[in-house]
Structure 1
Amino acid sequence: MIVPRFWAEGRIQERVAGKQITVRRYGWSDESPIAAQAHADQRTREAFERIAAGEQLNRRERKLAYNGAEGVPIREEIVERQGDTVITRNSYGARCLNTPDVLFVDIDFDEPLRGSVFGFALAPALIAGIVGGWTAKTWLGGLIAAIVVFAVAYRIGLARKRGEASGNPVPEKRAAERIGRFVHQHPDWHLRIYRTPAGFRVLAMHDVFSPADMAVADCFHALGVDQVYACMCRNQNCFRARLSAKPWRIGIGEHLRPRPGVWPVSPEKLPLRDAWVARYEKAAAGHAACQYLESAGNSARVHPNALAVQELHDERTRAHSGLPIA
């Protein structure tokens, strides 16, 4: 797990075989901006030489948030460090806990929507329009049916895109059953179970793990973990848990400023960001990120690293506060 304090971008523009090639790469460091720039220049030179030799590589490295990066360190503002645990602010403004070896498992009741909300709503709307028009024997009837279905489907898609539970009790029951089966099959595990707005969060207390461990992959598969989360755990070599509310769940409709919210931002835009964060933190103070439900498993064993992370997690999420979760 790497969460650098400093970032920089390197750029090389040279002519090769009569063609101009421009290559950009990011660099990072915990030491200083100068060290970050030196790393960026080194990575840029290496990429340039490979591209000049004919290798098919992207000439520009995109500035991506956590869930879009592939092995590049976590590009988020560091809010706090507690030993190996790093608390960062993600691209939409919430605080997140990042740990290299304490296993968190997030289980969503409904599969999050990965594609376009518009595209998700369009297909059923078109079908409803055709069927409605044929039934009513008029294009107006088809249009009305299409509009109504599109509006309903769009709201459903938007909720799934935001990771909100549908209210259907069946997925929650199935998730609870998966946890129960896992505990029965792994009696030597000690788990803490939390309720999140859209699912369950499970924290392993009895041992520490590498994200690349086969036991972790088996656990993710058995519990039905979101594939993007599982992939990012492997790519970033860490486990992750959101500590504060999602902004849109606490009445903040405006995105983290400036957009797109990926760290770092230019110094002249920091006041805009700080103002948004202050407003967000004030609203988030009245909410918890999750609620502790129960412990499960026959083992009472507690690894000291897991205990330290659990105490930090429970305090920052307000898991025992009784506040509404968001």
Structure 2
Amino acid sequence: MAMIVPEFWAEGRVSEQFGRGHVSGRYSLTVRRFGWSDSSLAEAQAMADARARAAFDGILAGESLAKRDPRVPYDAEGLPIREPIVERDGDVVITRNSYGARCLNSPNVLFADIDFAPPPSGWRAAYFWISLAVGAATGFWIKPWIGVLSLLALLWLFALIARAAAARRHRTEGGGLEARAMAPVRAFVAANPDWHLRVYRTPNGFRLLAMHRVFDPLDRSVPDFFQAIGADSYYALLCQRQHCFRARVSPKPWRIGMRERMPPRTGLWPIAPERMPERERWVAEYERKSDAYASCRFVEALGSRDYVSETRGVQRMHDAMCRADRDLPLA
């Protein structure tokens, strides 16, 4: 299965009213399905209508089918990535995701992001019992409502202390956030010295780009790699279902001062034609503000120095779009 990021999208609808005593037991049924095409909107509409009719007939025949495709931009099994195409370069497709950032989609060049683990709460049961004891004593000797306030104030204070102490430990133990995140990556490369990984710093972790060869997302080595380095499980599932690898190559809007969400609110594609001017104004403002930020920054290369032409081409495109070699704030 090749990566599919269609140019054209349409939605088909089949709706019928039934009389009493219909064999299905229904009074009415409405089914919607999407269709897609790289050729034309008419072809996408024809597919949508055919899928809607097939699902409609299946439901009437007793099959357990949804009445409409899930309204998500990707990771819906059986549906391609539903995002507008910004540009194409060979097999690589740049799309705009549901919150407005540009994403690089490749059928065979392996990317993986590693997020820093969140700090533990640091809360201890003793904090609760101390707060409860002080609150009870205050309520008994002074006034009950003052005791309740004392209890709540102490719980809040202990929560702040515990969180601050846990955050300090989290930043320093095991060499700090970056060292802990990179430890499984370095262990993987030590065990697989033929791999060539480029490492990039992101706002909340690291991005890895494999250079030594291309990969089929369904190859067994891909989930094994993801598991070994601690990559996000949702991203690993997306790669399998969408048969591609993705990397965000422009900033997240809320990190660059964009207060309003990209219209329409869901950001899902396609949108009604009358909403396009509003959306285009938002995108123009977003792209203007994005110029002052980088999505990631190149840190180092690990393992071998082997690469193939496909990975080199995608790497150059990725680095230019992310501004990975410029000293800009990460967003």
Asked if these proteins are the same fold (TM beyond 0.5), I'd say yes
Question: Take 2:261 and 2:157, find their aligned partners in 1: how far apart are those partners?
Answer: 28
Question: Take 1:60 and 1:94, find their aligned partners in 2: how far apart are those partners?
Answer: 27
Using the TM superposition, name which of 102-111 and 209-218 deviates more.
102-111
Please state whether the residue corresponding to 1:192 is helix, strand or coil. Answer: strand
Question: Take 2:162 and 2:46, find their aligned partners in 1: how far apart are those partners?
Answer: 50
Residue 9 of structure 1: which of 8, 11, 18 is its match?
Answer: 11
CA deviations on 1:74-116 (whole Å, 9 max, x unpaired) are 111110100010001111111100000000011111269xxxx
Question: Does structure 1 residue 64 correspond to structure 2 residue 66?
Answer: no
1:111/1:226 contact within 8 Å kept: no
Aligned residue for 2:150?
141
Question: Take 1:136 and 1:176, find their aligned partners in 2: how far apart are those partners?
Answer: 45
Aligned residue for 2:143?
none
Question: Take 1:129 and 1:94, find their aligned partners in 2: how far apart are those partners?
Answer: 43
Counterparts of residues 45-194 of structure 1 (less than 5 Å): 45-66=53-74, 68-110=75-117, 132-137=131-136, 138-145=147-154, 170-194=176-200
Over the aligned positions, Cα root-mean-square deviation in angstroms equals: 2.8
Aligned residue for 1:290?
296
Letter in structure 2 aligned against 1:206: H
Question: Take 2:77 and 2:155, find their aligned partners in 1: how far apart are those partners?
Answer: 39
Aligned residue for 1:276?
282
> How far is 1:247 from its partner?
1.0
When the two structures are aligned, how many residues end up with a matched partner?
305
Listed as ranges, the gaps of 5+ residues in structure 1 are: 113-120, 155-165
Listed as ranges, the gaps of 5+ residues in structure 2 are: 137-146, 164-169
> How far is 1:131 from its partner?
6.4
Residue 208 of structure 1: which of 205, 208, 214 is its match?
Answer: 214
Letter in structure 2 aligned against 1:136: G
C-alpha change, 1:213 and 1:153, in structure 2 (3 Å) is farther
> How far is 1:135 from its partner?
3.0
Using the TM superposition, name which of 54-63 and 288-297 deviates more.
54-63
Please state whether the residue corresponding to 2:93 is helix, strand or coil. Answer: strand
Question: Take 1:149 and 1:257, find their aligned partners in 2: how far apart are those partners?
Answer: 42
Please state whether the residue corresponding to 1:212 is helix, strand or coil. Answer: coil
Q: Kindly, what percent of the aligned residue pairs are identical?
A: 50
> How far is 1:150 from its partner?
8.3
CA deviations on 1:281-315 (whole Å, 9 max, x unpaired) are 111100110001111113x3211111111110011
1:193/1:292 contact within 8 Å kept: yes
Question: Does structure 1 residue 324 correspond to structure 2 residue 322?
Answer: no
